[in-house]
Every structure is written in C-alpha cells, then in structure tokens.
C-alpha cells in the first residue's frame, strides 16, 4: 500500500480539490491511503474560535460562521446540486462543533483545543471523499480516531503503538482508495487528541509503519525538499536525494517541509519517503531513503522565527551544576517549552526556546525564584547544515548576532534583526 499525504495548501479551495483528483488520475490510486489536512487556513480559523470561546467574546458566533461560510463556498464550487448528501454531512459536522461549544463544561484549554480543532480535518476529508466519488474515483472514508490511539497529553499526544498497530492492521481495507484525517487521534475514553501542530505527516508515517507500506509521498506546493526556505533565502535549490539521517537532522532543526516525528517510523522499516509537487506531480521530487552517500553537498539553511533566548545565572555567583540544569529541564518539560539550542558557562546557562503554548511568563516567574533571568524576545535561530564561510556570511549580514554555536557539521546562530 502507498500512503499519500495532502496538506492544507493542496485543498485550500475547489480548484485544489479538483487538482487532487487530477494528481490521483496521473499517478494512480489503487491500494492507496490518503491522509488529508484541514483546508487552507481552517486550523487558524478554528484557533480563533477557541480563543473567542475562552475569552467569552461576542465574536464567537461570527468566527463559527466564518468556518461555515468558507467550507460552504467550496461545496458550492464543487457540487451543482445543493441537495447533494455532502451538504448534509458537512452541516452535520459543523452542527456537532457548535453543540460542543455550547455544552462543554471542561475548563482545560488543551482538551477543548483538540475537540474543536479536529473538525477541520473531519470536514475536509468528507468533502474530498464525496467529490472523488462524484468524478468516478471510488473511496473508503475512515475516521482516524478509530485507529490511532494515544494518551491524554492533549495538543501533543503520544501514540500507543501496540494498540494503534492492531487496529490499523485489522481495520484498514486493502486494494481500495482509503481517505482519512491527519493530525488527530483519540484517547482511551474516545476523546479527540492531536499529535502536534502540522502533525499530518506523522499520521502518514504511523499508517505506513503499521501497514508496512511501499512508500509515503508528501504532496507540497514546492518541487521537493529545498536547501533553504525560498521565503527567506534566494536561489534555493532542490535536494534530489537525502538520507533518513539527514532528513531527521533537517526536521529536528526546524525544516518545515517534513514534520520532525515523521522520519523515525519510516526509517525503522526502511520505507522510502518522497516529497513531491502537487502542481507538477510527474516530477521526481526528493526521495528520502537509507544511505550515507545521500548527504547533500551544499549548505542547507533553516530559520525559526519568534524564538526566545533566555539566560539564567545563579543569584550568588555559584556554579551552574548538573542538578540546576536538570531542574531547569524538568520545568521546561512541565511547561511544554521546546528547547532548540543550549549553551552554558560556569555561572550562566542560555537556551533558545519555542513557547508554542504561551507558557513562558508563568515559567519565568518560577525560574526567577532561583535564578537571575534575562531574555530576548522575537529572536531568530538560523541553522546551517554543511556550513562554509560563504553561507555563514549570508546569515550574519546586517544582523546582530547574540549567540553562535559550531559543531562539525552544523552552525547555529541566534540573531536580532
């Protein structure tokens, strides 16, 4: 079985859905499973709904209607008959969303987030499934929550691999086109969970691992994995082939083309990964597979914006020892803060972090009880794999360098623009 993942950009409007069908017609779809994200910026729109819900905003209803209006326009553009069953199914899903909003009693933000945000994927896959049937492509829509089981770590859930593998092996039909949702799963009480922002790639890898798939293809609006993000760097070039190891390194440092958790399940079973263009689906794209000889021979640039650079120093000029660092990292874990770079000296400890759950202010108050805390907001972390003098100069020009760290293959620089 092949696994195809289509992200939000590929199904952002009716033309995108039509193009998805065109891609399948060109590359084939027998014995294939599609993992599809929410349409366009739906996840962002649902995050607005969640914020309005917790703020008790009078804009809550308007934000819900925006979600309805957006999807209804796509339906109108795809289906001539408003009596088509798909209109009923989508309306029913969005009614369920509004019912949850009205009836929820839980004050847990992360729990509510997962219950609400998941409707983006449920609606998108419903629309795509019905449209493909409309144009003669038979398919089997499945609810991923019946297959991927997780713990209750809402917004960043951990997969129960043993249970998930049993359910997928037993429940996924072979020799047919299956369609399911990315990014979401369910816990032991069947409440919806999510696997982390942009986690649909990971969903594809989970199915691939459990089904011992032939391959995984991630369909993007770029020709493959590039050596740099063209939004920030000129003259980005395509990497035709890279190893699992290099792809894991690039993803770990923040390359946005592949989700960081995606590679490990594939590498364990040596399932090849392809990153290809849904605009030009017959182009080769980038292949990720086993082999030390597949390392890129050009510098690869990764940039993470909106980072925090924190410096901790002891209040009495005593050494920062292992027990201090251990305590700090326990707090990072507790407050779900992602650490992207570490540097320490005798009496200070610096970290570059990503505060994706907006917990830093609370964390800072805890740290300030034992350390002097200073920090820079909105810094950028640049990582260059296979760096040289020219690539270093490209990053440093016209920027204030706050911290630089060099290893054998990798250079990291924190800058203030």
Partner residues linked to 244 by β-bridges: none
326: CB partners within 8 A, 6+ apart? none
Phi then psi dihedrals of residue 178, to 5 deg: -100, 145
Indicate the range of 36-45, 157-166, 248-257, 324-333 predicted with least confidence. Answer: 248-257
pLDDT at residue number 254: 82
Q: What is the pLDDT of residues 83-123, one digit of tens each?
A: 999 999 999 999 999 999 999 999 999 999 999 999 999 99
Q: Where do the H-state alpha helices sit in 55-199? A: 60-78, 85-103, 109-117, 119-134, 161-171
Buried (b) or exposed (e) across 346-356, using 16+ Cβ within 10 A? eeebbbbbbbe
- How is 114-137 classified by DSSP, letter by letter? HHHHTHHHHHHHHHHHHHHHHTT-
- Retrieve residue 231's tokens: 């939004």
Binned at pLDDT 50, 70 and 90, residue 303 comes out as very high
19 to each of 25, 35, 78, 110, how far by Cα in Å?
10, 16, 12, 34
Start-to-end CA span in the chain (Å) = 47
Give the C-alpha separation, 217 to 273, whole Å: 6
Nearest in space to 11 (alpha carbons), one of 48, 36, 44: 36
Q: For residue 190, how many other CB atoms are within 10 A of its CB?
A: 9
Helix (H) or strand (E) holding 249: helix 244-253
- Retrieve residue 304's tokens: 């993470």
What does R_g of the chain's alpha carbons equal in angstroms?
Answer: 23
Q: With contact defined as beta carbons under 8 Å apart, do 305 and 366 qualify?
A: no
Q: With contact defined as beta carbons under 8 Å apart, do 123 and 46 qualify?
A: no
Phi then psi dihedrals of residue 139, to 5 deg: -155, 165
Which part of the chain is CATH 3.30.2130.10?
300-416
Q: What is the pLDDT of residues 187-245, one digit of tens each?
A: 999 999 999 877 899 999 999 999 999 999 999 999 999 999 888 998 899 999 999 98
pLDDT at 260 over 80: no
Binned at pLDDT 50, 70 and 90, residue 293 comes out as low
pTM of this structure: 0.87
Which part of the chain is CATH 3.40.1160.10?
2-213
pLDDT at residue number 317: 73
CATH architecture, domain 300-416 = 2-Layer Sandwich (3.30)
Fold of 2-213: Carbamate kinase (3.40.1160)
Q: What is the pLDDT of residues 126-148, one digit of tens each?
A: 999 999 999 999 999 999 999 99
């Amino acid at each position: 079985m092949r696994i195809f993942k289509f992200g939000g950009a590929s199904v952002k409007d009716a033309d995108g859905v039509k193009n998805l069908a065109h891609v399948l017609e060109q590359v084939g779809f027998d014995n294939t499973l599609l993992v599809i994200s929410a349409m366009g910026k739906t996840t962002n729109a649902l995050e607005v709904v969640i914020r309005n819900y917790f703020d008790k905003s009078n804009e809550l209803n308007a934000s819900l209607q925006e979600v309805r209006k957006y999807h209804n326009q796509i339906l109108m553009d795809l289906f001539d008959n408003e009596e088509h069953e798909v209109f009923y199914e989508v309306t029913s899903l969005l009614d369920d969303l509004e019912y949850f909003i009205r009836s929820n009693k839980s004050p847990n933000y992360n729990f509510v987030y997962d219950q609400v945000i998941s409707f983006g994927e449920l609606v998108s896959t419903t629309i795509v499934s019905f449209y493909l049937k409309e144009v003669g492509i038979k398919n089997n829509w499945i609810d991923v929550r019946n297959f991927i089981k997780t713990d209750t770590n809402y917004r960043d859930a951990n997969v129960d691999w043993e249970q998930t593998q049993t359910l997928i092996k037993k429940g996924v039909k072979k020799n047919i086109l299956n369609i399911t949702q990315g990014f979401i799963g369910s816990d032991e009480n069947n409440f919806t969970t999510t696997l982390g922002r942009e986690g649909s790639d990971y969903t594809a890898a989970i199915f691939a691992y459990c089904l011992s798939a032939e391959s995984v293809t991630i369909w993007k609006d770029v020709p493959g994995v590039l050596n740099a993000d063209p939004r920030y760097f000129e003259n980005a070039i395509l990497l035709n082939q890279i190893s699992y190891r290099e792809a894991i390194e690039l993803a770990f440092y923040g390359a946005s083309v592949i989700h960081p958790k995606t590679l490990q399940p594939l590498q364990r079973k040596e399932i090849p990964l392809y990153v290809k263009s849904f605009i030009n689906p017959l182009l080769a794209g980038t292949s990720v597979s086993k082999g030390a000889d597949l390392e890129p021979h050009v510098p690869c640039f990764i940039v993470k914006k909106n980072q925090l650079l924190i410096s901790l120093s002891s209040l009495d000029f005593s050494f920062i020892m292992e027990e201090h660092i251990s305590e700090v990292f326990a707090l990072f874990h507790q407050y779900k803060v992602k650490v992207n770079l570490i540097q320490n000296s005798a009496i200070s400890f610096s970290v570059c972090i990503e505060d994706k759950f907006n917990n830093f202010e609370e964390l800072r108050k805890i740290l300030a009880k034992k350390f002097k805390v200073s920090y820079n907001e909105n810094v950028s972390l640049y990582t260059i794999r296979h760096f040289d003098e020219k690539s270093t100069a490209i990053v440093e020009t016209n920027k204030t360098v706050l911290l630089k760290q060099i290893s054998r293959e990798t250079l990291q620089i924190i800058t203030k623009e």
